[in-house]
Chain A
Amino acid sequence: MAMTKYLARRIIEILITLFIITTLIFILFRAMPGDPASLVLSPRMTPEIKQIIRERFGLDKPLYVQYLIYMRNLLHGQFGTSFYYNQDVWGILKQKLPPTLLLFGTGEILAYIIGIYLGRIIAWRRGSRLEYSATVFGIIFYTMPIFWFGLLAIWIFSYKLGWFPIGGFKSPEVWATAVNASVFVKIFDILKHLILPLSAFTLYIFAGNMLLMRNSMLETLREDYILTARAKGLPESVVRNRHAARNAMLPVVTAMALSVAAAFSGGVLTETVFSWQGLGSTLVEATLNYDYPLAQGAFILLAGLVLIAVLTADLLYVLLDPRIRY
């Protein structure tokens, strides 16, 4: 019952937060200098034609009217039509989201698995060569610019060794309708395209998780119950994995939820370097092109995903720590 109440309260909070975010997004975009019509710089474009374009985009209406139309459409589940794609924004987002989820969702999970695994090991072996080398290795990748590292990876593994495609999501040679390749072959083709960007992204972000887990573990290892567990004669691996790591994971879970936003937005560079046509690059392109409906829709989707991730993290605490109850 308490959990149900908590859930209901959190959902209401999420809706209020989303309302504030959508309003802010609307204001911020309209505050940008210029508009979609102004970007079409052509000698053929007379002021009259530019006005026609603005009327077509609804930009000739007063701001408050544009806002009311925008909110009304949102309440009906409509994000509007993209100025440039001529398509329903939700349709575009649905198309762009799976590549982003595949790359960054998988990358986030892998980075956390690797980070948590390594973090608990190096905390357990504090002062060892393994700790120093893992820390240095992780920080090197963490501080390396992802676009430079990505290009280097492409140059070595795609160009010089020829192991992977230069970029993209699919091979036309497999996916062209005329080829009629099997589902099995198509899945492996996507995996082939995924390996390099996934590896680059995972290497880039695992270090933060590893160091956070390490610090959290070091604090947890000072707790009395760890001493008790050792005193009871439990194997070291059990003390480490079941007693220390499990409790040390709580801050890491929080960081994981908050990093969802960073993953999607920071993934812009990764998507661009690897020509991975996902949500991140679409978001930036839509913003630069003043494609208000698409940019707004992408931002709202991103905000929604982050809010859901934070809620998920809160609920995970209940599973991870029996002391936490709502």
Chain B
Amino acid sequence: MRKERMVKITAALLVVILFASVFYVQPISTQEQGTFLKIGMQDEPKNTNIYKATDVWTANVLGWFYPTLFILSPIDRELSPDFAESMEGSPDGLTYTIKLKQNAKWDDGTPITAQDVIFSFDLVKELQLPDYLPYIDGIVDSWSAPDDYTVVLKLPQCTPKFKNSTLIGMVIVPKHQWSKVLDDARKGAEPLQIFLDTNLGADTPYGKLVSGGPFSWGEWQKGSFVRIVANTNYYGKGRVWTTKSGKTLTEGPNYDGILFKIYGTTDAAILGLQKGEIDYIWWTIDPGFIANLLADPNVEVTKADELGYYYLAMNHAKEPFNDKVLRQALATLVDKQFIASRVLQGYGGPAHSVVMPAAGKWYNDGVNKYGFGMAKADRVAKAKEMLKNAGYSWDADGNLLLKNGKKMAPFDILTPPADYDPLRAMSGVLIQEWWRAIGVPATAKPTSFGQIVASTFEQMTFDVYILGWRIGGNPYPDHMYDFFHSSQAVPDGNNPMSFKNPEFDKLVEDLTRNCDENAQMADAFKAQEIAIDEVAYCPLYYRSLNEAHRKDTFEGWFVQLGGVAGSINYLTPLKPAGAKPTGIPVAIALVGLAGAAAYLVRKRKD
């Protein structure tokens, strides 16, 4: 009995100590650590190798450390010098001489010079680094450094990709650190693999990650948080951006660093934001959460455009989708306005072209909009008329009969599952019903992402699928070449639809070769018309990028294409403001615990 009582007393004491410890750990005053911008992310970075930063979470962290020659200015998105000071092109547009900033240093004090630029280009070419090769392959022929602050780039032909891709995409890495990584990689049988498998860090032979950006590497407590600290050597601090609308932004950072905290779900991240654990959620928030956030006086919800869109694609290489009239009739039946208002709940809009309105001057609003704005009955009537004129018919049960008189075979519309993307899954179901209205035997089939990719991009055996693209921050629509050029209509290519149109091919080839902007725009407009007319894609909708941040901790937030952090450097103009919410009630918990402990140790009769 005594033993049992002692066990109970010990257990009760342990419980009380455990809970009391919760309230013992007082957060260290933030003033002792400095002021950090706290950002919520859904996952932590995977590695510390910028050349292996293929996922967004790794890029969000590592993207702060490496300059590029040029960047897109905030809000107006115009090509502006970053590490470069100025650039002069030869009359034939094939040679560019770039002068570099002479006061720029890496965070370890080593000057950033043209040797770093040349090394970075050489590295990509030597190892054929998959994610960076497209920035130079076929675009830049050679590169040299006549002195420490001048780089000369030579192009084999004039191409807008040089300014729209190479100058803003090629990262500059510190030669004095990465040359050791390259040397070690060369010693192995597979240098590319060894190089990409290498991580930097204080616990590696290559030392702490060296940065030339606004922040320096701090620490990474795996599974918990990443901390980066302000780089005192950052060459861009104090740089002033003035937008066309007259807004002035001064680059920082004006705080001590960024703390990336990991949240497994959007619900937890939103609670963390509202509680004050984080200042900003760095991913798009589903419309279902918006109302709750709008009701919070300390949180601001922003809506931004992004260049991506969601689309339906049919397999042009398979009957009966190889018939343009059928594709056009099916496109006519899709009620994009319904999807935008009911499925997107207004957080986005109907997409008509393969270039988004957010691309500004590149967007052709004059493309065929098929049944847009028509009532359902009118869309059905129009689709039926188109098919009837083309030789289609219907049987007594209303099933569509092909030109050869046979019933159309049932087929699947592959969509991501609802837990992956409820919007696309729902869109698939709606389209299924709209098509069935004229006897087309479609069935929306939620399918794992891997299976969709296997059926479409790899094997090209699909009939119809719905997916989407997020297209970088640059409005220049060279993605039309990547998605629709006939050379991409191969396994592993980006044109699984097998869309092949020689006139379109020529237009997008010229788009990537012609340096005259007027000619580029004419090509882009005509290419969009053809792509939509042929139903290379049936664009469905674009989503607005919904984000949330606290109003009371930092000021100077602004929205642009791609969101608040539309480009990495654009969080640096923020300035600290206001107090943080605090408070941990103790008394109630301890009273309750005392009661529980008393119950446990009470004497009872058996």
Which residues of A are interface residues toward B (Cβ below 8 A)? 32-34, 37-41, 43-47, 49-53, 56, 81-82, 84-87, 95-96, 99, 151, 154-155, 158-159, 161-179, 181, 185, 188-189, 191-192, 195, 235-237, 271-278, 281, 285, 288, 290
User: Are B453 and A41 in contact, CB atoms less than 8 angstroms apart?
Assistant: yes
User: Are A162 and B450 in contact, CB atoms less than 8 angstroms apart?
Assistant: no
User: Are A192 and B25 in contact, CB atoms less than 8 angstroms apart?
Assistant: yes
- Closest partner residue, chain B, to A238 (CB atom): B606
Residues from chain A with Cβ under 8 Å of B439 in the complex: none
Report the minimum CB–CB distance from A307 to chain B (whole Å): 26
Can you spell out 27 A-B residue pairs with CB atoms less than 8 angstroms apart?
A: A33-B454, A33-B455, A34-B449, A34-B458, A43-B479, A43-B483, A44-B482, A46-B492, A49-B134, A56-B193, A96-B223, A159-B271, A159-B275, A163-B584, A167-B263, A170-B221, A172-B224, A172-B225, A174-B25, A178-B33, A181-B28, A191-B18, A192-B25, A237-B4, A275-B268, A277-B44, A277-B262
- Closest partner residue, chain B, to A161 (CB atom): B585
Of A32, A158, A166, A235, the contact of B606 (CB 8 Å cutoff): A235
- Closest partner residue, chain B, to A37 (CB atom): B492
Known: A162-B584, A163-B22, A170-B224. A38 touches B265 (CB 8 A): no
Q: How far is the CA of A179 from the CA of B19 in the complex (A)?
A: 24
Report the minimum CB–CB distance from A97 to chain B (whole Å): 11
User: Are A43 and B264 in contact, CB atoms less than 8 angstroms apart?
Assistant: no
**Most chain A CB neighbours (cut-off 10 Å) among B43, B131, B223, B482:** B223
For the complex, is B410 an interface residue (Cβ under 8 Å from A)? no
Q: How far is the CA of A151 from the CA of B130 in the complex (A)?
A: 41
Residues from chain B with Cβ under 8 Å of A84 in the complex: 46-47, 54-55
Q: How far is the CA of A53 from the CA of B493 in the complex (A)?
A: 14
- Closest partner residue, chain B, to A57 (CB atom): B193
Q: How far is the CA of A51 from the CA of B448 in the complex (A)?
A: 23
Of B43, B192, B277, B494, the contact of A56 (CB 8 Å cutoff): B192
Q: How far is the CA of A171 from the CA of B33 in the complex (A)?
A: 13
Residues from chain A with Cβ under 8 Å of B30 in the complex: 173
- Closest partner residue, chain A, to B30 (CB atom): A173
The 9 closest A-B pairs by CB, nearest first: A277-B223, A43-B482, A34-B450, A33-B454, A47-B492, A272-B264, A44-B134, A275-B264, A86-B47
Residues from chain A with Cβ under 8 Å of B352 in the complex: none
User: Are B28 and A173 in contact, CB atoms less than 8 angstroms apart?
Assistant: yes
Residues from chain B with Cβ under 8 Å of A163 in the complex: 22, 584-585, 589
Residues from chain A with Cβ under 8 Å of B264 in the complex: 167, 271-276, 281
Residues from chain B with Cβ under 8 Å of A46 in the complex: 134, 492-493
Residues from chain A with Cβ under 8 Å of B218 in the complex: 176
User: Are B223 and A169 in contact, CB atoms less than 8 angstroms apart?
Assistant: yes
Give the segment of B146-154, B196-204, B320-328 that binds chain A.
Answer: B196-204
B contacts with A, residue count (CB < 8 A): 78
Residues from chain B with Cβ under 8 Å of A290 in the complex: 450
Residues from chain A with Cβ under 8 Å of B54 in the complex: 40, 84
Of A34, A52, A154, A277, the contact of B130 (CB 8 Å cutoff): A52
Q: How far is the CA of A81 from the CA of B188 in the complex (A)?
A: 16
Q: How far is the CA of A143 from the CA of B458 in the complex (A)?
A: 42
Of A168, A185, A237, the contact of B25 (CB 8 Å cutoff): A185
User: Are A38 and B606 in contact, CB atoms less than 8 angstroms apart?
Assistant: no
**Most chain B CB neighbours (cut-off 10 Å) among A45, A51, A275:** A275
Q: How far is the CA of A206 from the CA of B165 in the complex (A)?
A: 58
Report the minimum CB–CB distance from B417 to chain A (whole Å): 12
Q: How far is the CA of A32 from the CA of B448 in the complex (A)?
A: 10
Q: How far is the CA of A274 from the CA of B21 in the complex (A)?
A: 20
Q: How far is the CA of A159 from the CA of B263 in the complex (A)?
A: 14
User: Are A34 and B453 in contact, CB atoms less than 8 angstroms apart?
Assistant: yes
Of B25, B222, B451, the contact of A189 (CB 8 Å cutoff): B25
- Tell me the chain B residues, 1-38 only, with Cβ under 8 Å from chain A: 1, 4, 18-19, 21-22, 24-25, 27-28, 30, 32-33
For the complex, is B109 an interface residue (Cβ under 8 Å from A)? no
Residues from chain B with Cβ under 8 Å of A237 in the complex: 1, 4, 606
- Closest partner residue, chain B, to A53 (CB atom): B130
Known: A84-B47, A163-B584. A273 touches B265 (CB 8 A): yes
For the complex, is B215 an interface residue (Cβ under 8 Å from A)? no
- Tell me the chain B residues, 145-195 only, with Cβ under 8 Å from chain A: 190, 192-193
Known: A154-B271, A172-B227. A195 touches B454 (CB 8 A): no
User: Are A236 and B33 in contact, CB atoms less than 8 angstroms apart?
Assistant: no
For the complex, is B490 an interface residue (Cβ under 8 Å from A)? yes
- Closest partner residue, chain A, to B199 (CB atom): A86
For the complex, is B316 an interface residue (Cβ under 8 Å from A)? no
For the complex, is B128 an interface residue (Cβ under 8 Å from A)? yes
Of B259, B267, B458, B492, the contact of A151 (CB 8 Å cutoff): B267
Residues from chain B with Cβ under 8 Å of A45 in the complex: 130, 494
- Closest partner residue, chain B, to A170 (CB atom): B224
Q: How far is the CA of A86 from the CA of B53 in the complex (A)?
A: 11
User: Are B272 and A166 in contact, CB atoms less than 8 angstroms apart?
Assistant: yes
